[in-house]
Structure 1
Amino acid sequence: MDSRVLINRRENPKESANVLSLITFFYIHKIFTIGEKGDIKEDHLYYVHRQLRSKQLGDKLENIADDLQEKRKCVSTIRLLVIFCAKKYIYLSIMQLIMMAIFVIISPFLLGKFVLFFSPDQTEVSREGVCFFGVSFVGLSIIQYIYEQNYAMIKEELRIEFQTALCSLVYRKSLRLSPEAVSHITIGKIISLISKDINVFGHLIKFASDWCVGVIQIMIIMYLFYIKTGPATFVGFAVLFTTLPVQVYIAKIVKNKRTYSNAKSDERLQLTQEILAAIRIIKMYTWEKFFSRKITETRRNEMKKLRQVLIFKDVSFLLGKFVSVLSFYMLISSYVWMGNTLSAELVFYLYSLYDKLEDTIIRVMPVSISQVGETLASLKRFDAFFNTEEIKNCDLAIISKIPKLPKIIFQNVRVEIRTITVLKTINLEMKPGLNIIAGHVGSGKSLLLKTILHEYETADGKLIVEGQVSYASQYPWLFPSTIKQNILFGEQFNEEKYMRVLDVCALDFDLKLLQFGDQTIIGDCGINLSKGQQSRVNLARAIYRESDIYLLDDCLSSLDPNVRRHIFTSLKIYLHGKIYVLVTHHKRFLEEADNVVIMNDGNIIHSGKPADIPQNFAMPKRLDHSDSRNSMFGYVCNGDVEINDESEPPKIEEQNVNIYHESKNAGKVPLSVYKKYIRFGGGYSFYSIIVVLLISGGSLMTYAKEVLSQWVDMDEHINVLTRNKNRSSSEFDMLTSKSASAFNTYTTITFVGSAFWLMSLVLHFYFASQISMKLHKSMIESVFGSTMKFFDNNLIGNILNRFSKDIYYIDEELVYSTNDFIMVFVIAVSTATLISSINEVFFISSMIIEIFFVLLGYYLLPIGRNLRRLNSSTRSPVVGHLNASLEGIATIRAWKNYEILKDEFDFHQDLYTSAHHTLVTFTQGFALILKMISSIFMAIIVGIFYSCNQMLREKLVFL
């Protein structure tokens, strides 16, 4: 198809980067420079990294699938994943286990010793020792941050590898689907597989090792807790483990709901694709409102189940969050209730251990368990696709040209589709010359041609096809590219032959009318051509190919009489000496045929000379689909035009044009977009309630740390007074009362803050689901309300990408990102405010860090936004190429152009992978920069602790 734009891209800098540049992500700094100067475009992307190239990854996974098919007679997607990733993934998991064990054990120990120095009457840690512990803690944190980001990057690259390989395998499998399989595996389902279902493998790769390591991490931390708190440990962890059966039950529900939701997504995408392909007819008859309502109703059914999936995932996530808070609270409370006293060292040590465990409890465990249900649902869909019936004997569809005369022989051939006989005992021989097949609609004419192509397997009898076959489908198939590329379709260009084919198909006049001649870009399904032009380009492709057998399935019915007669006469001359099979309903052509085959209900009722046709046979009546339009612009009528105009069409120099290019916004997102987003969800009042609840919950959870530090401080003073025999009873009673009050306040704030946070998340999910529904409806109405110029300039692949991948992000990713952003922002501001309120030095330090964060965001966020837009736009060619290939699957198989199409798909996917990998690298680099700044802030705090007075240290040490 050759719709590629060949650009001499620069080598990926990661391939030549040194170790320091790799671990700090410095090798991507040139993208930062380009983004700072202006918009990042496709031209600026690097050539995809060698380990992420689609062709090599697709070949590797295809070999694995072939081995599984040979050994087990079926392909299991989970086995594909295990075999493809196992070795590397095991190494990663072992490394993660070792490193997390080091960080979990050493980091809390260093913090505990650092805090111990500031406890009253301690003699264990000297001033030199606290300096060592403080510096070691900051240094270990820096090492941990660098490790975590590089570990995350390696897993992201492994995810990209498998998803790229799986997309390539899905495309290759789609080219081999049998006609029966194509009838029930829709384009919408395949697009859904590579746009939505494929994301579960990203989550699986991301969380599987974390889940396994997390289980071991919980056991280690539980042991460390037990050393410090004794039996109280079991109370806290019992609360944690009680939710596991609930999480498993939720995973089962999610699996069932997700299966139904995915089926509705397939239906919606298939309906969208079919409507876009027929948009000209829909607009001609003003059916936009009807189809808009139909898609909206399908979307509503999809969202009913998807909303339930998200609610149950939300419940699972909320359980993890609530249990994490409750388990720590119960641990501390049980420890106190058992008659033990708290110290700053102990609480800080326990809280540090809990902080290491929090990500596993809140994110990894709940998400992993709920993700199991979604993964099983998607695995079932992939397994069903990969084990679908393939076309049999596809290598026989085109037989190499041999010296003998070409021939087609049917010997008692019978064809069945789903146990129904559609061709009944066919005996037929076709020799060089004009062979016309006629018959009523549904009599089996097209089926006979596809049987010759081996699209359908013979149930009985023998089919002999000798010679190379060329095929023109009944419904013209044109792919997004130039007219010239549609005609050549991978064949070598021969100017003399090419010009002759244009004359035979009466295309020379059309090309003279076009500004760019045969370099004119054709849209999906030839949407910017008339039906007659589509048929003639489709026919030109078939006869340009040097073949022995030409199968032309009703290619002349949509032409006006003058053009039809010209082409019919020219074809007889041009294809002289070849087997030329024409399906037609025009009786006048039968008289000029060398052999006429008449079919009825899957049987041949006549085969022989035109003169032998039964007198009682009547050609079927058809509506006149003739098309007198010869120009795609202006609809020029050709009734008075001489077809044999001897002037040649203009010769236009070939241009390297990206047919899938789409204009995208640059710069900031307009404020109106955010306003419309909020209005779609329920308005400013509703969203304000969500934000207030989030802020309140985050602020209360942050303030709980301050109350906890006060409680610990009071308990330490109570311990000192308890050891002092000369203590004042009134002072002791007052401190005991304040300690109890602080504990009750801590309890109240913890539960109220958690409740606010949970309510905000539930409301936010409902808010997001409303947005998804209304946004999709608005998109449909906007697309249907567009003029035809919009569809001429935007291919179906580009539009489908908006309705598949982008809608997926809005449905299932955006709400989490928005919620996390607000929570992190609130907690960061609350914590900084809390610390800053105690001492002016902390205030100045916090303000400097916060200003630096703002400036860094102002500089880097536009680059990230730019890369995100580029990531989305480069996905369109992948979806578009898949859609175009599936539309013309019979023609592709007849041409045997598998390798060309696979290479082009891999080319498009490499472009997307390059953009996506660049975005992921930027994200990890940005995160590392933020963590390094946090380490600097941490070092400043440690330094201030070391130099401040004793009273200030006791007050600040826990925070």
Structure 2
Amino acid sequence: MERLWKKNMAANEKKSKKASLLHVIIKMFFWQFMMYGILTFIVSCVFRVIQPLLLAKVIQYFDVNSTITKTEAYLYAGSLVASTFISSMLYSHTNFGVISISTRIRVACCSLMYRKILRLSKTATGHTTTGQVVNLLSNDVSRFDKVLIFLHYVWIMPFQTVLLTYFIWQFVGISALVGVGALFLQTVPVQGYLGKLTSKLRLKVALRTDERVRLMSEIISGIQVIKMYAWEKPFEKMVALARKHEIDVVKQASYLRGVYFSAMVFSERMTLFLTLLSYVLLGNHITPEKVFSLAQFYNIMQLTMAIFYPQAIQFAAEAKVSIKRLEDFLSLEETVAVTERTGHSKMGITISGVSASWEDNSITDTLSQINLNVQPDQLCVVIGPVGAGKSSLLQAILKELPLSKGTITASSEVSYASQEPWLFVGTVRQNILFGQPYNPKRYNEVVKVCALKRDFELFPNGDKTVVGERGVSLSGGQRARINLARAVYRESDVYLLDDPLSAVDTHVGKHLFEECITSYLRGKARILVTHQLQHIKYADHIVILNNGLIEVQGTYNELTASNINFAALLNSEPAEENTEKATLQNLSRQTSHMSRQTSHDSTQSIVDEENEDNEPDENTELLTTGSMKMSLYAKYFKMGGGACLLLMLVLSLIIGQSASSGSDYWVTFWTNQEQLRKHHANLNTLEDQPMNVLAWNTTPFPGAKNTELDNSSGINVYNTLTNMSSVPLPGDNQDAISPLSIFFFKVCMNASIGLHDTMFRSILQGTMRFFDTNPSGRVLNRFSKDMGAIDELLPILMLEVIQIFLVMSGILTMVSIVNYMLIIPMLCVAPLYYKIRSIYLCTAQDIKRLEGVTRSPVFSHVSASFSGLTTIRASGAQEMLRKEFDSHQDLHTSAWYLTIAATIAFGFWLDCISNVFVGCITLSFLVFEEGMLGADVGLAISQSLILSGMLQYGIRQTAEVVNQMTAVERVLEYTKIDKEQGINSESDPPVLRDLNFVIEPAQKVGIVGRTGAGKSSLISALFRLAKLEGSIKIDQVDTQTVRLHDLRSRISIIPQEPVLFSASLRDNLDPFRNYQDDTLWNALEEVELKDSVESLSHKVNAGGTNFSAGQRQLVCLARAIVRNSKVLVLDEATANVDPQTDTLIQGTIRRKFADCTVLTIAHRLNTVMDSDKVLVMDAGTMVEFGHPYELLQNQGGYFYSMVQETGKSTAEQLYQIAQQAYAQDVSIEDSDKKQESQKQS
């Protein structure tokens, strides 16, 4: 398909047309599809059409004036039964073949989409989302499964209609035109119009589902931040609004289906009524062979014209919309290979006159006139302020950023470590190797130089420990080092490292720079983007970027010798001794000291949040087994409106079916009267001569003297019963009356809304453990595929099943009334039906569950690939991931194929039993023929023929309802997940152990330690994101006694990885709308973002991709300023920003949060040296706690060692900062004691 798609694109590009996916599908599958179309034509126009003709001959045999011999009658009856057997065999075979083709189309389209994903440009990824892609892969491609089953009837319907009209004409003459014309007008024009409406609604549903799933994807990705900010309510409202917009259109589509079903039921009855009415009004008399043959002809015509053809139109309209959406996605911009690969390793990187922009119509370039030459053995360090274009420079080298001018020439192999670590679900080793062959020597060297050896020793399964999606089971530093190790392990000529040192502490950062970047990668061309200015003196070449321009470049000595005052820029990182900052420190320290009060913190243990995925099976989705319980249906309908609403619905349906069956019985009675009248007239007998009938024929009819029934009376009663078969009900406020089907869809929509809302609320209240152990693709699967089935598939299947079984009950009742002896074959086949159904359901339910479970890895793989495209392409891992995707999809297709095969086999065996039942009934009338009336025979055989096709379809649809109810089951599973108030993880080893310390009010406390020491886990304990033993008390109040929302809403955090959501800037700052615009503008001004945005309605892309990493962090700081909480947590908040932005953030925090308690997790020690206290952690325990200056007096201590590892000059500067801060504290304390002494004296 990919080859044909590219060929189609090229051909249409020459004609300035859009490529057509439909043409590609037709070219691939047309002839296979048409082969099954021919078989469908034979079934529809031969074997089904001859059945009413054969039925007429069998009924005619029972006419007293019949010339048909018994041998001929047996021949006709045998042919009738044989035609049903042949029809069933061919129908099952063609269905299986067509569904197999639709499966191949679906698989091909999914594979084509995934290959497109791997080629999407960075600009294109900004125009789509993971949620939209998941929706295309789950809902849109599934349209092929439906449309192909019915599509052949679009061209078969005209042939069959002409043929049936001819035979009906032979029976009733010109009256045939009345019935056929009425059926045509009720179906084709009406269904054509409904098809157009369906197409429009389908597009609306798809777009609104995209929006909801996109929003859900963002929420799942940023759930930790949402919980810490206590933003569950605003996001619940956002999802509720998106869901309301979606469900409004889904309701319209469902009600449209309700109109369709009402028209279907009405047309089936009305067509026969109008034909008989016109036939009688023209002065003719009805006969059994004519009435029941007409009923069969119209049943066949109505099946094709009013059911199969409209469904073909409807599903074709939906498929057309889906194909259009797939085409739009497949037409998105791809990466363009503008970087020249030299094929040898001595070239390095040469950038000549490069200008580039992310947007085609951008006024300013992201990069402008870049000229840079990096030799094969050089280390080039790129520095610059936030938003300078540093990452964009690397993206240009990687071919991700299209060039508008200039050229880039690079060596043959390039390796890349992204700024935000990208990890996928797999072991740590798999993440490092990433498709490369395992070389033990090189692997161990890379592990050592990336400082991962100790981490592997702490992991329960070493490097075979399973990493959760996005590395959620690891600390930020561990993720960064594994991400770096992947790039380093790959044997390349050029290494592009985008700020890999920002997420690690000073000691580890120094190790990575010296052992890995400068030593292990010596002899390679390296470009390092960093904000760690202490390292640049060791670089061979330094580039300073600002606003997309190279302000200056050269060696360290050249830059220090220039007039740009580079030394000041360098020293601002560790020392930060400017006057303004010193003034702010003094103000902060005085205010902090004056407002201190006592507070106590005693934390003994906390659940190991950093090692949730220790066991490889943590991420395996649980597979439910066993039969579907009736309580599941009860829960579904309870959400739909309760018992009263359901009881009303059932009673109304029973009344409607009773009227429908009554009309069939009345036609039989009326026809019998006509036959008796004709018979007595021919015999010219006495009026009171009794009829000789067998006692076992229980159809009531008057005696000879009452055999005449007035035609007008017959028509009037028939008309009344026909109209009653579509009983209207009082509708809602929008409609005066609504048909039963619309009423039923309303119940289903209520259930769907309830299930979605309950599941979403449960997800929002779920523990972080749930999100750490469940990939986003798995969760999105419930909100996309499963909710799609509940919204659209389940209601229509349930309605079909209810209507079919009501009709079946009516048929069995009618057959029993005609001849109670026919109850015997019914009792024989009923256990067989039940046994086969039980065997099938036992298997089908588990297969369907297996299909659902094997579907989740496909979505998870797509989601992970979509978020790591740059790393994937830089590593050349596209082929490996394509094979992995194909493997996931093959596994899912295997389960899907089993579902199809089991369903078709089930239907076939049901058909066989039904055909045996038809044979028993038909032949029984010939064996026991004496005294039988033609109308009774016609009713029994025609109803059993309907039953033959309907029963297998009904039971199969019942099984399909049970299968689709697994979606309800899976959704309800997520309503029972552990809630935060009841976190249950007792078996997990604690990551924090025996922590005991006190932080006084308004103190500024730094928390330091090696990556993986438990710093972030301590913050999780503060926010109650995990279970803890002991207590954390704020102002003598145990946090475990406070409502989660109240606790979190009173603590502000600036997280390690800034999270922004696709909404307005205002909603990102204040989703509750609690603050005035002036407050928000003041906060933006404090962080120097006021001039960077046009208004508070400024659109923020998903993940904040239209902001740089530093700007995203500033927005998070603005959030904290707006909230103005008394406790502020900074989780390595300045790790990804340049020194100037770091200075801005630190200064703003000291100024705006002088009266607040501030906890700072930091890797850069300069940010905590002036703190009131420093908490030093190692392996989850507190090893030191005190003032930085006091800790530095212990030369054998952890903190002293960490400071010394920064280098001699930096260590001296850090010591001076701590000493000055300590002296200031002592001076303030002495002044306070002196004032207190004076007061006492």
Fold match (TM-score > 0.5): yes
Q: 1:503 deviation in Å?
A: 1.4
1:920 has 2:879 as partner: no
Q: Which amino acid aligns with 2:344?
A: I
Point out where structure 1 has 5 or more consecutive residues left out of the alignment: 1-60, 625-630, 638-653
Choose which of 586, 598, 604 in structure 1 pairs with 2:544.
Answer: 598
How many Å apart are 1:632 and its aligned residue?
12
C-alpha offsets along residues 86-110 of structure 1, whole Å, 9 cap, x if unaligned? 1112222223223322113322221
Q: Deviations over 1:181-202 (max 9, x none)?
A: 1101111111111111112222
Structure 2 residue 449 is the aligned partner of structure 1 residue 499: no
Other-structure match for 1:107 = 51
Inter-partner Cα distance in structure 2 for 1:632 and 1:436: 40
Secondary structure class of the residue paired with 1:951: coil
Deviates more, 1:444-453 or 1:94-103: 94-103
**How far 1:880 moved relative to its partner?**
0.9
Cα distance in 2 between the residues matched to 1:455 and 1:666 = 46
Matched, 1:222 2:165: yes
- In structure 2, the residue matched to 1:128 is 71
Matched, 1:718 2:677: yes
Q: Which amino acid aligns with 2:6?
A: D
1:615 aligned onto 2:568: no
Task: Quote the offset at 1:252 in angstroms.
Answer: 2.6
> Structure 1 residue 300 and structure 2 residue 274: aligned?
no
Cα distance in 2, alignment partners of residues 154 and 400 from structure 1: 51
| Structure 1 residue 930 displacement after superposition | 1.1
Computed over aligned residues only, the root mean square deviation of the Cα atoms, in angstroms, reads 2.6
Q: Which residue of 2 aligns with 1:337?
A: 281
1:947 to 927, 942, 950: 927
Superposed CA offset, 1:879-938 (max 9, x none) = 111111101011111112221111111111111111111111100111111111111111
Q: Are positions 1:826 and 2:806 aligned together?
A: yes
| 1:236-385 aligned within 5 A | 236-243=179-186, 244-385=188-329
The question of 1:783 aligning with 2:763 is answered yes
Question: For the residues of structure 2 that align with 1:633 and 1:492, how far apart are their CA atoms?
Answer: 36
Q: Is the 8 A contact 2:59 2:934 kept in 1?
A: no
Distance (Å, rounded) in 2 between the aligned partners of 1:831 and 1:416: 68
Residue matched to 1:510 = 455
Give the letter for the 1:549 counterpart. V
Tell me the distance in 2 between the aligned counterparts of 1:738 and 1:558.
Answer: 94
Instruction: Call closer, same or farther: CA 1:275–1:679 in 2, change over 3 Å.
Output: same
> For each residue in 1:264-285, what CA deviation from the matched residue of structure 2 results, as whole angstroms up to 9, or x when unmatched?
1111111212221222333333
Equivalent position of 1:62 in the other structure:
2
Equivalences for 1:29-178 in 2 at 5 Å? 61-73=1-13, 74-123=18-67, 125-178=68-121
Q: CA deviation at 1:365?
A: 2.2
8 Å CA contact retained: 1:410, 1:426: yes
1:442 aligns with 2:384: no
Amino acid at match of 1:390: E
Matching residue's letter, 2:290: L
CA distance in 2, matches of 1:339, 1:179: 77
**TM-score, reference length from structure 1:** 0.87
Deviation at 1:810, TM superposition (A): 0.6
- Equivalent of 1:681 in 631, 640, 659: 640
- 2:131 aligns with 188
2:935 and 2:29 mapped to 1: Cα distance? Answer: 50
Contact 2:450 2:512 (8 Å CA) reproduced = yes
C-alpha distance after superposition, 1:475-507 (max 9, x if no partner) = 111011111000000001111111111111111
Opposite residue 711 of structure 1, the aligned amino acid is W
Segment drifting more, 698-707 vs 754-763: 754-763
Instruction: Indicate how the Cα distance of structure 1 residues 756 and 864 shifts in structure 2: closer, same or farther if over 3 A, else same.
Output: farther
* 2:419 is the alignment partner of 1:474: yes
CA contact (8 A) 1:479 1:884 kept: yes
C-alpha offsets along residues 409-446 of structure 1, whole Å, 9 cap, x if unaligned?
23344445222121111111122322111111111111
Instruction: Give the stretch that moved more between structures: 491-500 or 857-866.
Output: 857-866
Q: Is the 8 A contact 1:434 1:593 kept in 2?
A: yes
Shift of 1:684: 1.0
More moved, 320-329 vs 127-136: 320-329
Instruction: Give distance in 1, aligned partners of 2:302 and 2:183.
Output: 11
Q: For the structure 1 residues 852 and 93, does the alpha-carbon distance in structure 2 shift closer, same or farther, using more than 3 Å as the test? A: closer
* Aligned position for 1:25: none
- Map Cα deviations across residues 490-545 of structure 1 (whole Å, 9 max, x no partner): 00111111111111111111111111111111111111111111111111101110
Aligned residue in 2 for 1:532? 477
Structure with the higher helix share, 1 or 2: 1
Match of 2:723 in 1: 751
Please say if residues 417 and 483 of structure 2, whose CA atoms lie closer than 8 Å, have aligned partners that are also in contact.
yes
The CA deviation at 1:660 is: 5.7
Letter in 2 for 1:67: K
- Which residue is 2:359 aligned to? 417
Alpha-carbon spacing, 1:827–1:167, altered in 2? closer, same or farther (3 Å): same
**Aligned partners of 1:437, 1:301: CA distance in 2, in Å?**
47
Match of 2:348 in 1: 406
Count of residue pairs the alignment pairs up = 873
Which residue in the other structure is 2:1230 paired with?
Answer: none
- Candidates 650, 653, 656, aligned match of 1:691: 650
Question: Is residue 737 of structure 1 aligned with residue 691 of structure 2?
Answer: no
CA distance in 2, matches of 1:870, 1:412: 52
Query: Is the contact between residue 317 and residue 366 of structure 1 (CA under 8 Å) also seen in structure 2?
Result: no
Q: CA deviation at 1:955?
A: 5.8
Q: Which of residues 890, 894, 897 is equivalent to 2:870?
A: 890
Q: CA deviation at 1:770?
A: 1.3
Contact 2:213 2:784 in 1 (8 A): yes
- CA–CA separation in structure 1 for the residues paired with 2:707 and 2:635: 55
How far, CA to CA, are the matches of 2:282 and 2:28 in structure 1?
A: 52
The alignment status of 1:807 with 2:787, answered yes or no, reads yes
After superposition, the Cα gap between the structure-2 partners of 1:677 and 1:635, relative to the gap in structure 1 and judged at 3 Å, is closer
Aligned to 2:815: 835
Structure 2 contact 48–87 (Cα < 8 Å) conserved: no
Q: Is 1:550–1:580's contact at 8 Å kept on the other side of the alignment?
A: yes
Give the aligned residue type for 1:357.
Answer: M
Query: Partners of 2:90 and 2:767 in 1: how far apart?
Result: 53
TM-superposition CA deviations, 1:58-98 (whole Å, max 9, x none): xxx11110110121124212112211211112222223223
State whether residues 711 and 743 of structure 1, in contact with CA within 8 Å, keep that contact through their aligned partners in structure 2. no
Shift of 1:635: 6.9
Return the alpha-carbon distance in structure 1 between the equivalents of residues 237 and 354 of structure 2: 50
Q: Aligned letter for 2:52?
A: P
Answer whether contact 2:63 2:933 (CA < 8 A) is retained. no
Contact 1:277 1:525 in 2 (8 A): no
Match of 1:44 in 2: none
Q: Unaligned stretches of 5+ in structure 2? A: 577-604, 689-701, 730-737, 940-1241
